[in-house]
Amino acid sequence: MHAQVLDTAHWDRVAALCRDNDIHTIECVVLDTWGIPRGKRIPTRQFLRGAGYAIANVIYTWDPTCFIFSTPWVNEADGFPDMHAVPDLASFRIAGWTTGVAIVMCDTVNVTTGEPIEMDARNMLKRQLARFAALGFEVNAATELECHFFKDDWSPLYDDINCYSIARGAEMESFMLDIREALRKTGIEVEACNVEYGPGQTEINLRYGPLMEMADATVYFKYIVRTVAKRHGINTTFMAKPFLLEAGNGMHVHQSLSRQGENVFASKDEDTVIGNSLMRKYLTGLLAHNKELQLIMTPTISGYKRVQDYSFSPTQVTWGLDHRLVGVRSIIGAGAGNRLESRWAAADANPYLVLAGVLGAGMDGLESDYELMEQVVGDPHIDDRWDRLPVDIEGAIANFDSPFTRSVYGDIFVDNFIIMQTREAEEFRQNADQSSPDVTDWEIKRYRGVI
CATH code for the domain in which residue 74 is found: 3.10.20.70
108 and 143 belong to one structural domain = no
Q: Report the number of distinct structural domains present in the chain.
A: 2
319 and 194 belong to one structural domain = yes
What are the distances in angstroms from CA 79 to CA 65, 84, 190, 382, 412?
20, 16, 44, 54, 19
CATH code for the domain in which residue 438 is found: 3.30.590.10
Residue 298 contacts residue 241 (beta carbons within 8 Å): no
276 and 341 belong to one structural domain = yes
Rg over alpha carbons for the chain, rounded to the nearest Å, is: 21
* Nearest Cα residue to 43 out of 106, 101, 104: 101
Angle at which helices 351-367 and 211-231 cross, to 10°? 160
CA–CA separation, 18 and 425 (whole Å): 45
Written as tens digits, the pLDDT of the chain (451 aa) is: 344 444 445 899 999 999 999 999 999 999 999 999 999 999 999 999 999 999 999 999 999 999 999 999 999 999 999 999 999 999 999 999 999 999 999 999 999 999 999 999 999 999 999 999 999 999 999 999 999 999 999 999 999 999 999 999 999 999 999 999 999 999 999 999 999 999 999 999 999 999 999 999 999 999 999 999 999 999 999 999 999 999 999 999 999 999 999 999 999 999 999 999 999 999 999 999 999 999 999 999 999 999 999 999 999 999 999 999 999 999 998 899 999 999 999 999 999 999 999 999 999 999 999 999 999 999 999 999 999 999 999 999 999 999 999 999 999 999 999 999 999 999 999 999 988 889 999 999 999 999 9
113 and 142 belong to one structural domain = no
The answer as to whether 5 is a domain residue is: no
Residue 348's contacts (CB-CB under 8 Å, 6 or more residues apart) are 34, 35, 238, 239, 240, 249, 299, 300, 303, 447, 451
CB atoms within 10 A of CB 111: 13
154 and 63 belong to one structural domain = no
Domain boundary among 118, 135, 165: 118
171 and 82 belong to one structural domain = no
The answer as to whether 3 is a domain residue is: no
The answer as to whether 2 is a domain residue is: no
pTM score over 0.85: yes
CA–CA separation, 24 and 44 (whole Å): 5
What are the distances in angstroms from CA 333 to CA 169, 246, 278, 362?
31, 33, 15, 21
Domain boundary among 118, 152, 186: 118
CA–CA separation, 88 and 92 (whole Å): 7
217 and 139 belong to one structural domain = yes
174 and 61 belong to one structural domain = no
How many residues are there in the chain?
451
75 and 147 belong to one structural domain = no
The answer as to whether 346 is a domain residue is: yes
The answer as to whether 245 is a domain residue is: yes
The answer as to whether 374 is a domain residue is: yes
- pLDDT for 376 equals 96
Give the domain range for residue 404. Answer: 127-448
- pLDDT for 91 equals 97
Domain boundary among 118, 138, 161: 118
44 and 149 belong to one structural domain = no
95 and 135 belong to one structural domain = no
The answer as to whether 225 is a domain residue is: yes
110 and 163 belong to one structural domain = no
